[in-house]
Structure 1
Amino acid sequence: MSEYQYYEFVAIDRPLTAVEQGELRAVSTRGRISASSFVNDYQWGDLKADPRKWMEQYFDAHLYLANWGTRRIALRLPVQLLDPDLAATCYVGDSASSWATDEHVILDLYSRDEDGDDEW
């Protein structure tokens, strides 16, 4: 069985500039890139970028799915809406984390189903 990974990033707060879209294109020649999103799936490789850095720099939401059972959603919120210290106290177990930049708090929620699931 081959692997399958799906990456989707969405810019909601502002459109990506032509320069930013070019930076994304330099990472992925097959990705579907627009002023509001990056979408790509991989069957024999992986995204050649760090999703955490892309969330800090470009995007407001991220969805990741893999056929071995990993699911991930990340949301970037302005620090005025969610205090970074408060966000850091709201986890149960290891299925959520957050980090902050000067302007944003990024919530990262994930699930790892070790058995995988080919029928999503």
Structure 2
Amino acid sequence: MKYLVTSGAVLRFTDGSHVELKPGVHSFEKRVTEHWAFNAHAQAITEDELKQSQGSEDLTLKVSGLETTITGLQQQLDEKAATIDDQLKQIEEKDSTITGLQQQLGELTEKLTTQEAGNAKKQPSANK
């Protein structure tokens, strides 16, 4: 028969031996189940209860695994968000640089056009 141990304990016997009870589902010898304190820490369970208990333990393990996965994914998400923020800042800086260079290009083009127009007026005539 299987027993569901709900709290840990150490059962001591008159011959000096002892048995440690750990939470969970276990089988025990008859002398252990007849110990005066055994029923305070464990109770007999049927096969159906055992299946439910094992199903519950499976679900607990699955939930624990999923929580670990979620934590890892959340950490990855935070890292990716930080990377995206950094890249957005770089884009803003580069946009600013491009705007500044476009202004400089416009100014230089204007100066060149003005200078070329001035040079065209100053050219001496070849027919003198």
Q: TM-score range by the shorter chain?
A: under 0.3
Bigger share in helix:
2
Higher relative contact order (CA 8 A, sep 6+): 1
Larger radius of gyration: 2
| TM-score using structure 2 length | 0.23
Bigger share in strand:
1
